[in-house]
Chain A
Amino acid sequence: MTIPAITVDANTLIFGLLAVVSLGIFFNLGKFKASKSQTEREDRIDWSVRKYSFSTYFRGCLISGLGIFLIFSLLGYLGFN
């Protein structure tokens, strides 16, 4: 009985290894508390409240959407394709 040769190209090896190592980091580091510089500061996000109103987020959404559209359209118009 011949065992078929398992061929792994460099692409699979590099990115596969990256995925495995990254998942290892996530499952290990994820279980530890963040550093004090992260947890003990005054300007942390308070998830129990909405600091900005819905209209602020709505304005932000429109500005971002329009902004991205105008910047890329302008650059395209200037010949960056």
Chain B
Amino acid sequence: MSKHSALDTFGRSGNPAFRDHFEGTASNEDTRLSGVMTLEGAVNKTGILLALCFSSAAVTWNIPNTGLMIGGAIVGLILGLVTIFNPRQAAKLAPLYALAQGLFLGGITVIFESQYPGIAVQAIGLTFGTLASLLICYKTGLIKPTENFKLMLVSATSGIFLLYMVNIVMMAFGGGEGIGFIHSNGIMGIGFSLVVVAIAALNLVLDFDFIEQGAEQGIPKYMEWYGAFSLMVTLIWLYLEILRLLAKIRSN
């Protein structure tokens, strides 16, 4: 019988990343061999991933190369998807993911920076500012993530993903400019970007809670890399959305 009554009612999580790690039953061998997840370990690994991302971003920042940028985006996407379904491999895949995404971010930032000088440092400052603010809100208990919070946030995030996909299909096959308000730099466009930035930022709270509970419950050490990876995915999304928002505001 599980210690969680909900486990018996609803069954285990469908997310392969979380299943088998939090209950401890399937991971006893892993924890015995590698140790358990700690907050310090997850934070340090996030630092390593950020450093890797910044170093590869410096390459495409200094030597702008479209091929390298698009290649980084595609490889990063593939590595991200593989990591989501293979948390045990996160220690190997997450650094590669950070390097690949860095190539993409460096390239895209140069494009924005050439149009709106100073936008890069603004976006970086606001991204890390949001990270620190939400960490304080989470640690102090100002924002308390619940199951309903998670449901709303996952729904909103996937809803935005759906809109982006429809937009891409419309742009590819419709010949037009897709869904107007996504690209517009008017009130609607800025309002939409603000909504997306808010949702991306709140995803950080879910990442903090995942890491906090993982450390509390002593899940295997390799999940430190997974926690750091999920934080990186959210930070990269947040950075890109802030970049878009600032560009829309400054283009007026």
Residues of A within 8 A of B (CB): 9, 11-12, 14-19, 21-23, 25-27, 29-39, 41, 43-54, 56-57, 59-69, 72-73, 75-76, 80-81
Task: Assess the A57–B154 pair: CB atoms within 8 A.
Answer: yes
A41: which B residues are within 8 A, CB to CB? 144
Which among B118, B127, B128 is the interface contact of A11 at CB below 8 angstroms? B118
Task: Assess the B147–A61 pair: CB atoms within 8 A.
Answer: no
In the bound complex, how far is the Cα of B15 from the Cα of A53, in angstroms? Answer: 11
B135: which A residues are within 8 A, CB to CB? 25-26, 29-30
* Contacting residues of chain B (136-161) with chain A, CB-CB under 8 angstroms: 136, 138-141, 144-147, 149-152, 154-156, 158-161
Residues of B within 8 A of A (CB): 4, 6-7, 10-15, 18-19, 21-23, 39-40, 42-43, 46-47, 118, 121-122, 124-129, 131-133, 135-136, 138-141, 144-147, 149-152, 154-156, 158-163, 166, 179-181, 184, 186-188, 191-192, 195, 206, 208-210, 212-214, 216
Task: Assess the A52–B147 pair: CB atoms within 8 A.
Answer: yes
Task: Assess the A48–B12 pair: CB atoms within 8 A.
Answer: yes
Task: Assess the B213–A19 pair: CB atoms within 8 A.
Answer: no
In the bound complex, how far is the Cα of B128 from the Cα of A17, in angstroms? Answer: 10
Which among B22, B124, B154 is the interface contact of A60 at CB below 8 angstroms? B154
A57: which B residues are within 8 A, CB to CB? 151, 154-155, 158
Which among B128, B152, B180 is the interface contact of A22 at CB below 8 angstroms? B128
Given the interface pairs A47-B213, A49-B13, A60-B154, the reply to whether A22 lies near B6 with Cβ below 8 Å is: no
Least distance between B157 CB and chain A CB atoms (Å): 8
Q: Interface majority SS on B: helix, strand, loop or mixed?
A: helix
* Nearest-neighbor residue (CB-CB) of A33 within chain B: B39
A12: which B residues are within 8 A, CB to CB? 118, 121
In the bound complex, how far is the Cα of B158 from the Cα of A61, in angstroms? Answer: 5
Task: Assess the B136–A63 pair: CB atoms within 8 A.
Answer: no
B13: which A residues are within 8 A, CB to CB? 47-50
Task: Assess the A81–B187 pair: CB atoms within 8 A.
Answer: yes
Some 11 contacts from A to B, beta carbons below 8 A apart, are: A12-B121, A18-B125, A25-B132, A31-B39, A45-B146, A47-B13, A49-B13, A60-B159, A68-B159, A68-B160, A68-B192
Given the interface pairs A11-B118, A73-B181, A80-B187, the reply to whether A64 lies near B11 with Cβ below 8 Å is: no
Least distance between B148 CB and chain A CB atoms (Å): 8
Q: Which 4 A-B pairs have the closest CB atoms?
A: A64-B159, A60-B155, A15-B125, A37-B141
In the bound complex, how far is the Cα of B28 from the Cα of A75, in angstroms? Answer: 54
Which of B159, B162, B166, B213 has the most chain A CB within a 10 Å cutoff?
A: B159
In the bound complex, how far is the Cα of B166 from the Cα of A26, in angstroms? Answer: 36
B212: which A residues are within 8 A, CB to CB? 33-34, 38-39
Least distance between A65 CB and chain B CB atoms (Å): 4
* Nearest-neighbor residue (CB-CB) of A13 within chain B: B121
Least distance between A27 CB and chain B CB atoms (Å): 6
